[in-house]
Structure 1
């Protein structure tokens, strides 16, 4: 793992980054995402964790986290990646989007450095994940796009320890840093927030086109196992027409085997006046996706075993029966074939399913190692 350059006079958690360019007016432009924040000395970008220091952009959150937790991999959500196994999950602070409905707003919208109370360098983190019996490390809670240098180094340390690396992201990232980040990842869940530019512009303060480019890149140009999540928000992105358009695009541009998760919204952040998503909306969306030819479609954030189960597209048998994050039946071979007819179920499988279940185990790390 290449050492990250430190910034003179900064604290131990500040790392210089390569993703910026100088402008004629004296400002420096961050080139990590399409937001292209143009900063004068001492200013921070919208994401809060990338800032200008002298003649460069720096990552101020390297080695620091808002918390660590061992989760089920299905919580990311990833249903076709090391099923039933525990994953060491963490995030930092800030975000490069402005979603009014953010479900993790206390982390992603944080502007307080005290949020980053936990500390761990990449090797420390990987060693702890290994000790806890995790099979992977996930960069989640907020978007690894904005802390890509730290995420990449942690992913390399994880792989060196025999673990895999997972990115949970909105996919709002420029082409060059996107290739850099995902070269270190084994799996990703991309949050496809809606399927209209109007929603992205007015509610997420981003753009749909960039996210679609990220999805096509991951599926067609990398070996990263990719799943998609759409949080259905009543009255905003849950119409039959929009759901049909999204599913038709996925089938045409990504193929029928990319798993899609429709998850339930709960009132939060700046959309507390919007009601929770009815389970019937999730079931309706799933039925529409299946009608468009998608093979692996799931509901989430609800108890709904029938619609959270993986069915064989060959014989129709229920292969992985789930109740939220708990697996009640597992009928796949060690390499992911249907136990009844032998059809291959796309995904990443390493032997039998794990038995972690729905447990959530917070972890406190204080050791810092930045190698």
Structure 2
């Protein structure tokens, strides 16, 4: 027929995501591809190692997230469940790769999860109660909650992608850049599933859009940050996510995911993290100065009553209030320790 237009190969709609093939070709351990000798010869910047330790914990937090998601109607969707279980498997091995590098540098990452007693207790209670509460709440909502879950994974993947690109730019160690490129290849497959599925579900359901608008601002970004020390989350944002980059990610969220045009998720999370981190550091310095006077009154007197000392930068504590993530787990009030590591600064990637 004259005038009939045919679609070229380049214009053809993308094929549906093959979940079975995704599960069959799941990517496991990355250890064999990591050249530890290269890191021994040219170590990473200490700030980079600290960031990798934090990212390792974010990847590990997937199992907690998955546990809470799979007690909801999401588990009834076989396709989504198959994706999420393989997604969690691949993220486990990404965390393992980061751990290998962190350990090779002799970095003690135990403090990342060394939460103050009250906050740790509150988190433990929340982790035990959340699957029960979330099950009742989400099952009363129905299948629309799947759109929320996929939207949250999508946004988290965007944050992670931007952070990895920024880290590679800040510390372009050849082995690190190679590993991060491999990780991005793995995560690109994750985005190929969650992005279009989240868009479709939010487009099709007004209720899903409303639920996402209410729940996503209560999420701790990046996912997993709610169980880690706030000083580490603040360092993550200061080092990798500039204000401009946070705004860029937010604009991508608003332009891509239906019904979320009023949200500023990453910018808000960044502002809160830095505010809490700054307050913690200031109170820590004051407590350190006070402690130095109590422990060394003669030294303080000899110095003319000055309250300044090397102890001024020691670990202190401040009380802050946490946030609630999409699984319903709430962080209780607790204390946060400051850090003594050098911070890197950077803007948005080009």
TM-score, normalised to structure 1, is 0.27
If you compute each CA radius of gyration, which structure gives the higher value, 1 or 2? 2
Higher normalized strand content (fraction of residues): 1
**RCO greater where, 1 or 2, for CA within 8 Å and sep 6 or more?**
2
Structure (1/2) with the larger helix percentage: 2
Please give the TM-score of this superposition, normalised by the length of structure 2: 0.29
